[in-house]
Structure 1
Amino acid sequence: MRAVAEQRYHDRHPFNVRMHDGELSREEVRRWIANRFHYQRHIPVKDALITAKLDSSELRRMWVRRIEEHDGRAGDDGRAGDEGGIERWLRLGEAAGIGRAALLSGRQVLPGVRFAVEAYVNFCRLRPVLDAVAASLTELSAPDLMRRRTEAFERHYPWVEAEGLAYFRERVHQGRRDSGEALGLVLSWARSRGEQERAVAALAFKCDVLWSLLDAVEHAPAARPVTGPDR
């Protein structure tokens, strides 16, 4: 599982490499933010599908936390709660000059991105829980990627307001904890050779989803700009 994550994770994609080397234009950064948001907003959807497959209250409580991490949670007694990853991504868009109304409308989402995200959600809907949880283990590589991405944005894209990078910083801790939990489940469930091969194949599929998303963003026609707060 770790070898698949190391060899096939999308940090190796040419678009991500250019991002971290500071070679993206403002338009390319905005296009990535807008299209990646389509993936981000579907994370709690796939996690709800996985939660429904879990057969104990203990496991469901553990996994439902992931939904709250992205959708946010209300505070007790009127106190402020956690805004959640989706809200933090909307603030990243605003920090890069994209209005939240434009992000929420989905008008900027490329067909290839829609197809990749739908494939992942349907995978979690239709496949056994082992496969769905194993596919989430791209998180094994997420903490290191989030650290590199934060440093890259601070160094190369100072026009993105610093408070917009909160999503990246938060995912360093969350990704390490979530991947540890998911890996423990996969290792306990995948006892036979066939189950182990399914788990590895599920993670490879998820890597392909993320790679396909970046393919669509990298090769998007220049005629589809993502600029301004209301476009």
Structure 2
Amino acid sequence: MRAVAREHYHDRHPFNLRMHQGDLTPDELRRWILNRFHYQRHIPVKDALITAKFGTPELRRMWLRRIEDHDGRAAGEGGIERWLRLGEAAGIDRARLLSGEGVLPGVRLAVDGYVNFCRLHSPLEAVAASLTELSAPDIMRTRIGAFERHYGWIAPEGLAYFRTRETQGRQDGGEALELVLDWARTEDDQERAVAALTFKCEVLWSLLDAVDHGDSKDEP
């Protein structure tokens, strides 16, 4: 599972490489923030679908924390709010982000594919697909450094989402990996778990393909 994340995670995508090297224009960075928000706002949706598959209160309580991490306990809290603040720090109006205007068709297709995967597949596969979180802390550290070095026009408080996900991603990935290792006892289950994580990596890669080749008219 770690090898899949290491070899197929989207930190190797050309768009992410350009972002971390400081080569994106302000319009390109804003286009990524706007389109990635479409993914961010669906994270608690897919986590709700996964939670509904669990048969014990213990598992549901554990996974419910992920929804709270993104939606917050109250208005003005959580990862979605922090992403909105990132957008505002980059000069994108909050109302524009929330409207979904300008989200590219390829991004919508990738996000819908992931949400439906979690809706239709087994708990093992849905949890295994979330294991891109194993790579989240590393890419968050890289991204924070890149934004601080190359994109100083974005206010530091706009990076709060990335800073929070360093810790949350480590916890989420560790919990999900324990479940997958416990559940995937047969060779068939192990192959399905690996395939699920590979699919999720492809979703993130496809999302960046769409952003990288997005029409300039969709830029804020």
Give me the TM-score of the superposition, normalised by structure 2.
0.99
* 1:42 and 2:42 aligned: yes
What CA distance in whole angstroms lies between the structure 1 residues aligned with 2:8 and 2:66?
24
CA deviation vs aligned residue, 1:79-127 (integer Å, no higher than 9, x gap): xx88100000000000000011000000010000000000000000000
Question: 1:60 maps to which residue?
Answer: 60
What CA distance in whole angstroms lies between the structure 2 residues aligned with 1:194 and 1:223?
46
Query: How much does 1:135 deviate?
Result: 0.1
The equivalences for 1:91-102 within 5 A come to 91-102=85-96
Question: 2:219 maps to which residue?
Answer: 225
The equivalences for 1:83-162 within 5 A come to 83-162=77-156
Query: How much does 1:212 deviate?
Result: 0.2
Question: 1:69 maps to which residue?
Answer: 69
Question: 2:17 maps to which residue?
Answer: 17
Query: How much does 1:21 deviate?
Result: 0.1
What CA distance in whole angstroms lies between the structure 2 residues aligned with 1:149 and 1:59?
32
Amino acid at match of 1:19: M
Question: 1:210 maps to which residue?
Answer: 204
The equivalences for 1:187-202 within 5 A come to 187-202=181-196
Query: How much does 1:222 deviate?
Result: 1.8
Contact kept, 8 Å, 2:104 with 2:218, in 1: the verdict is no
Question: 2:31 maps to which residue?
Answer: 31
Amino acid at match of 2:108: R
Query: How much does 1:42 deviate?
Result: 0.1
* 1:165 and 2:147 aligned: no
Contact kept, 8 Å, 2:103 with 2:218, in 1: the verdict is no
Query: How much does 1:69 deviate?
Result: 0.1
Give me the TM-score of the superposition, normalised by structure 1.
0.94
Residue in structure 1 matching 2:177, options 183, 196, 209 = 183
Query: How much does 1:38 deviate?
Result: 0.1
Query: How much does 1:223 deviate?
Result: 2.5
* Unaligned runs of at least 5 residues, structure 2: none
Amino acid at match of 2:147: F
CA RMSD of aligned residues (A): 0.9
Amino acid at match of 1:72: G
Secondary structure at the counterpart of residue 212 of structure 1: helix
Amino acid at match of 1:201: A
Identity %: 73
Would you say how many aligned residue pairs link Structure 1 and Structure 2?
A: 220
Amino acid at match of 1:50: I
What CA distance in whole angstroms lies between the structure 2 residues aligned with 1:222 and 1:213?
16
